[in-house]
Amino acid sequence: MKKLITNVESCKSCKYCEDNCPKDAIKVNGKINSKGYPTVVVDEEKCIVCGICYNVCPDYVFEIHECEV
């Protein structure tokens, strides 16, 4: 099963992922990271792991992993 992994320490709150997510699964209102930016939160119920967030992110926050169920 594919899973979206987020490295929130890299996040700079630009919200490109929130804008481009086709399923509205990403919100940038998570806890504040060490750089001082609110970070991304992924709703795993809605996420279809399409990888668009990976593509639009300037800060390499997202990774897609294959996980065992």
Q: Is 37 in the site for other proteins (CB under 8 A)?
A: yes
Q: Is 15 in the site for other proteins (CB under 8 A)?
A: yes
Separation between Cα atoms, residue 41 and residue 6, nearest integer Å: 8
Quick count: other Cβ atoms within 10 Å of Cβ 52?
A: 17
Residue 51 in tokens: 């990888």
**Least Å from the CB of residue 69 to other proteins:** 14
Q: Is 27 in the site for other proteins (CB under 8 A)?
A: no
| Number of separate helices (H) and strands (E) present in the chain | 2, 4
Which residues are at the interface with other proteins (CB under 8 A)? 2, 9-10, 12-16, 19-20, 37, 51-52, 54-60, 63-66
